[in-house]
Chains A and B, each alone.
Chain A
Amino acid sequence: MDIATHVFSALYQFGDAFAFLVLSACGLAVIFGMMGVINLAHGEFIMCGAYVTAATVHAGLPLPLGILAGTLVSALVGVVVELAVIRHLYDRPLDTIVATWGLSLIATQGTLIMVGSTMAGVGTPFGSFQVGDYSYSIYRIVLFCAALGVLAALYALFNWTRFGVLARATIQVPHMAAALGVDTRLIYSLTFACGAGLAGLAGGLYAPTMTLVPTMGATFIMEAFVTVVIGGADVFLGTAPAGGVLAVVKSVMTSWQGQLFGQIGLLVAVIIVVRVLPKGISGFVLRERT
């Protein structure tokens, strides 16, 4: 086996881990990293996106439209949740833990009761390709590209658009933004919906590759929180480098010693980063710039 094969396989494993970390974490980066709402129902927004995607694909829609539907429905659910629950708890961050945990239990059990214990999968599109001795799934490359696309879109949204400026202003100094005529309630709702929609997108993208069960959100939540905690408050400057660092740790440890050590490596990396950089990677980068 030549060196190119090894390099490609290492890159592929890195890209795969990166995509999973970034896509799981993006929605949470907006809701937890930016807005400060500790959203324990994040996994259930992902599950919602996956279920809607699978249901629309079973109904005959092509997969990309299904993923879009999953994203939009999750965003809508996000609006409802924000209006009904989260809105009243912005000053009480610890209470959001209890509220969102309750929501997640209701969502998991509600799905089990209404839809049943499992849902038929939709099958992974695109097939595979061969490099050296190994064959790889093409869809995994699509996921990696999607992760890069989501990061680019988030950067553009929060830095170059009017909504992005208003959202950042509202979250940093809400009363000043309100005094300047910004409808802060609307901005909060839209930002929360954006985070929920991103979670739905992650669910939709991973729906073809996973078992669809009510508890599927739980398999994303550890990676999501780890990435956001390491990343810090800035969605783009935090999530992207955090995803990169953790993907290296995870793919190297997993290929060296197996899945268990991949997970141990992730958690050790978090402990070290939180100890050294209490405000996360983005806090470190932004302080350097000013």
Chain B
Amino acid sequence: MSKSVLRGLRAAALTGTLVLGSPLGSQLALAAENPIKLGVLEDQSGDFAAATIGKVHAIQLAAEEINKAGGIMGRPLELVTYDTQSDNTRYQEFMRRVLQRDKVDVVFAGFSSASREAYRPIVDQFNGFAFYNNQYEGGVCDGHMIVTGAVPEQQFSTLIPYMMEKYGKNVYTLAADYNFGQISAEWVRKIVKENGGKMAGEEFIPLGVSQFSQSIQNIQKAKPDFVVTLLVGTAQASYYEQAASANVNLPMASSVNVGQGYEHKRFKPPSLKDMYVTTNYIEEIDSPKSKAFYAKFKAKFPSEPYVNQEAENSYLAVYLYKQMVERAKSTKREEIRKVIALGDVCMDAPEGKVCIDPKSQHMSHTIYLAKVGADHSISFPKVWEDIKPYWLGEAGCDLTKKDPMAQYTPSNPPPKP
């Protein structure tokens, strides 16, 4: 107990501004150089904390490794961390602070799409440079942003046809009622239609709702073959327990569960039985690189409840940034984007090989189909390698030529030239 309290106090100390020191020897060697400052704005408290504390830890792990190995171009990496408390206005406040007062070189920020859209105009306004290391509903075409998370053409174009083939063509979507859920549901609708299926129903749930009796009944009434759950935040995760106790017993498909909120660890089996998730990383992935990453993570943060998809995205993003700065020999965004435009910014990440697409500044991924068993064990019935974030590029977003700083959706594509 006392040990966990101590760990807790240490975590408390970390929620303030944090300067991650490298070990003494290399610190002395690097001290003469100016540090490269990396702003970290992630939710360490509030409704999203369960899924996002691991992102901060992953960045700390990568920064420590990089500093031990001599930093970036001989300069140490310094983290400037703020707790955004799952609150969109905090994102705006802290984004201004890191860009104007702390003058960071790059910011890693954001879990929910609402918070990303809250801070993105500020990054554009102050000419900043931000990484969004999170899976999301896709469509952000903004030269100030690099997105390392997976997008619908990677998660849904794989998942939905697989589910329709296996279980049937009647699909019900239960989604969180904000931009992420609405746009993701639009993608599901589009892909279901393209594959000759039909929507048995759709319901959007306000964030923070925790009681689902009526929604469960609506689903039973619509008699779908499977349910696409795009529920976000810890309150909405109560759905699984309540659906299981009402014996809904339908297969589920998701782009957000398990890979972010590790619901299969938090709930008692078998409430997530037959949940299928497309994710680019979860700790169960059984490859040597994944195992090595997991071991390093656990060695530094032994009490980490789960190493999720966004932790891996954040970890590899630090290394991608290092590679780009070293190749550009500068931390200036325009110089870095010239490197991206070459189209060969790639790395061997824990999930497999990933590359940044120059047109959209999104990333290719290895997509794993994770299936939750009755005992909540994970199996991987299918793996898709090197799935590219093609939609934005095909729709007409080309950041190497033009930077519209906008978000597009299938029903609101980039304007034709």
Residues of A within 8 A of B (CB): 9, 12-13, 16-17, 20, 108-109, 112-114, 116-124, 126-128, 130, 133-140, 208-216, 218-219, 251, 254-255, 258-260, 262-263
**Do B205 and A117 touch across chains, with their CB atoms under 8 A apart?**
no
Interface flag for B244 (CB, 8 Å): yes
Point out the residues of chain A lying under 8 angstroms from B50, CB to CB.
Answer: 117-118, 213
Point out the residues of chain B lying under 8 angstroms from A124, CB to CB.
Answer: 241-242, 244-245
**Do A215 and B206 touch across chains, with their CB atoms under 8 A apart?**
no
Interface flag for B342 (CB, 8 Å): no
Distance (whole angstroms) from the CB of A105 to the closest CB of chain B: 10
- Of B5, B211, B213, B265, which one neighbours A120 at CB under 8 angstroms? B265
Point out the residues of chain A lying under 8 angstroms from B205, CB to CB.
Answer: 258-260
Q: Which of A139, A211, A218, A259 has the most CB of B within 10 A?
A: A211
Point out the residues of chain B lying under 8 angstroms from A112, CB to CB.
Answer: 45, 49
**Do A260 and B241 touch across chains, with their CB atoms under 8 A apart?**
no
Q: How many residues of B contact A (CB 8 A)?
A: 48
Interface flag for B53 (CB, 8 Å): yes
Assembly CA distance A213 to B48 (angstroms): 10
**Do B266 and A121 touch across chains, with their CB atoms under 8 A apart?**
yes
Assembly CA distance A51 to B244 (angstroms): 21
**Do B238 and A123 touch across chains, with their CB atoms under 8 A apart?**
no
Q: Take A114-B5, A118-B266 as given contacts and tell me if A219 and B246 are in contact as well, using a CB distance cutoff of 8 Å.
A: no
**Do B303 and A116 touch across chains, with their CB atoms under 8 A apart?**
yes
- Of B45, B204, B235, B242, which one neighbours A209 at CB under 8 angstroms? B242
Distance (whole angstroms) from the CB of A257 to the closest CB of chain B: 10
Residue of A nearest to B236 (CB): A211
Interface flag for B220 (CB, 8 Å): yes
Interface string of B213-243 (1 = CB under 8 A from A): 1110110110100000000001101100110
Q: Take A117-B305, A259-B206 as given contacts and tell me if A139 and B235 are in contact as well, using a CB distance cutoff of 8 Å.
A: no
Q: Take A114-B4, A254-B214 as given contacts and tell me if A121 and B177 are in contact as well, using a CB distance cutoff of 8 Å.
A: no
Which of B8-16, B59-67, B401-409 is the contact stretch? B8-16
Interface flag for B383 (CB, 8 Å): no
Interface flag for B296 (CB, 8 Å): no
Point out the residues of chain A lying under 8 angstroms from B45, CB to CB.
Answer: 108-109, 112, 214
Q: Take A112-B49, A117-B53, A135-B220 as given contacts and tell me if A211 and B247 are in contact as well, using a CB distance cutoff of 8 Å.
A: no
Residue of A nearest to B242 (CB): A209
**Do A134 and B305 touch across chains, with their CB atoms under 8 A apart?**
no
Residue of A nearest to B177 (CB): A260
Point out the residues of chain A lying under 8 angstroms from B247, CB to CB.
Answer: 127-128, 130, 135, 137
**Do B208 and A219 touch across chains, with their CB atoms under 8 A apart?**
yes
Q: Take A137-B246, A211-B210 as given contacts and tell me if A120 and B8 are in contact as well, using a CB distance cutoff of 8 Å.
A: no
Q: Restricting to B244-275, which residues have a CB under 8 Å from any CB of A?
A: 244-249, 265-268, 271
Q: Take A13-B213, A112-B49, A215-B234 as given contacts and tell me if A209 and B206 are in contact as well, using a CB distance cutoff of 8 Å.
A: no
**Do B214 and A251 touch across chains, with their CB atoms under 8 A apart?**
yes
Assembly CA distance A251 to B213 (angstroms): 10
Interface flag for B168 (CB, 8 Å): no
Distance (whole angstroms) from the CB of A120 to the closest CB of chain B: 6
Q: Restricting to B22-54, which residues have a CB under 8 Å from any CB of A?
A: 45-47, 49-50, 53
Assembly CA distance A173 to B269 (angstroms): 54
Assembly CA distance A259 to B242 (angstroms): 15
Residue of B nearest to A116 (CB): B305
Point out the residues of chain B lying under 8 angstroms from A128, CB to CB.
Answer: 245-247
Interface flag for B326 (CB, 8 Å): no
Point out the residues of chain A lying under 8 angstroms from B248, CB to CB.
Answer: 135
Interface flag for B284 (CB, 8 Å): no
Assembly CA distance A9 to B177 (angstroms): 25
**Do B8 and A133 touch across chains, with their CB atoms under 8 A apart?**
no
**Do B220 and A133 touch across chains, with their CB atoms under 8 A apart?**
yes
Q: Could you name 7 residue pairs across A and B whose Cβ atoms are closer than 8 Å?
A: A17-B213, A121-B267, A136-B246, A213-B47, A213-B235, A259-B206, A260-B206
Known: A210-B235, A260-B206. 20 other contacts (CB 8 A): A20-B211, A116-B303, A127-B245, A130-B247, A133-B221, A134-B221, A135-B246, A135-B247, A140-B213, A210-B241, A213-B47, A214-B49, A218-B208, A255-B214, A255-B218, A258-B203, A258-B204, A259-B177, A259-B214, A259-B215
Interface flag for B73 (CB, 8 Å): no
Point out the residues of chain B lying under 8 angstroms from A20, CB to CB.
Answer: 211
Q: Take A211-B235, A259-B203 as given contacts and tell me if A219 and B305 are in contact as well, using a CB distance cutoff of 8 Å.
A: no
Assembly CA distance A133 to B9 (angstroms): 52
**Do B305 and A216 touch across chains, with their CB atoms under 8 A apart?**
no
**Do B53 and A134 touch across chains, with their CB atoms under 8 A apart?**
no
Residue of B nearest to A222 (CB): B208
Residue of B nearest to A223 (CB): B211
Interface flag for B209 (CB, 8 Å): yes
**Do B49 and A117 touch across chains, with their CB atoms under 8 A apart?**
yes
Distance (whole angstroms) from the CB of B257 to the closest CB of chain A: 12
Distance (whole angstroms) from the CB of B52 to the closest CB of chain A: 9
**Do B220 and A121 touch across chains, with their CB atoms under 8 A apart?**
no
Distance (whole angstroms) from the CB of B210 to the closest CB of chain A: 4
Residue of B nearest to A215 (CB): B47
**Do A13 and B214 touch across chains, with their CB atoms under 8 A apart?**
yes
Residue of B nearest to A140 (CB): B213
Point out the residues of chain A lying under 8 angstroms from B215, CB to CB.
Answer: 258-259
**Do B47 and A12 touch across chains, with their CB atoms under 8 A apart?**
no
**Do A113 and B206 touch across chains, with their CB atoms under 8 A apart?**
no
Assembly CA distance A60 to B367 (angstroms): 40
Distance (whole angstroms) from the CB of A126 to the closest CB of chain B: 8
Point out the residues of chain B lying under 8 angstroms from A211, CB to CB.
Answer: 210, 234-235, 237-238, 241, 266
Point out the residues of chain A lying under 8 angstroms from B217, CB to CB.
Answer: 9, 13, 134, 255
Assembly CA distance A102 to B165 (angstroms): 53
Q: Which of B210, B211, B218, B249 has the most CB of A within 10 A?
A: B211
Distance (whole angstroms) from the CB of A14 to the closest CB of chain B: 10
Distance (whole angstroms) from the CB of A152 to the closest CB of chain B: 23
Interface string of B191-207 (1 = CB under 8 A from A): 00000000000011110
Point out the residues of chain B lying under 8 angstroms from A117, CB to CB.
Answer: 49-50, 53, 305
Assembly CA distance A117 to B261 (angstroms): 11
Assembly CA distance A138 to B245 (angstroms): 8
Distance (whole angstroms) from the CB of B244 to the closest CB of chain A: 7
**Do A208 and B241 touch across chains, with their CB atoms under 8 A apart?**
yes
Q: Take A215-B47, A260-B177, A260-B206 as given contacts and tell me if A113 and B245 are in contact as well, using a CB distance cutoff of 8 Å.
A: no
Residue of B nearest to A129 (CB): B247
- Of A16, A122, A219, A254, which one neighbours B235 at CB under 8 angstroms? A219
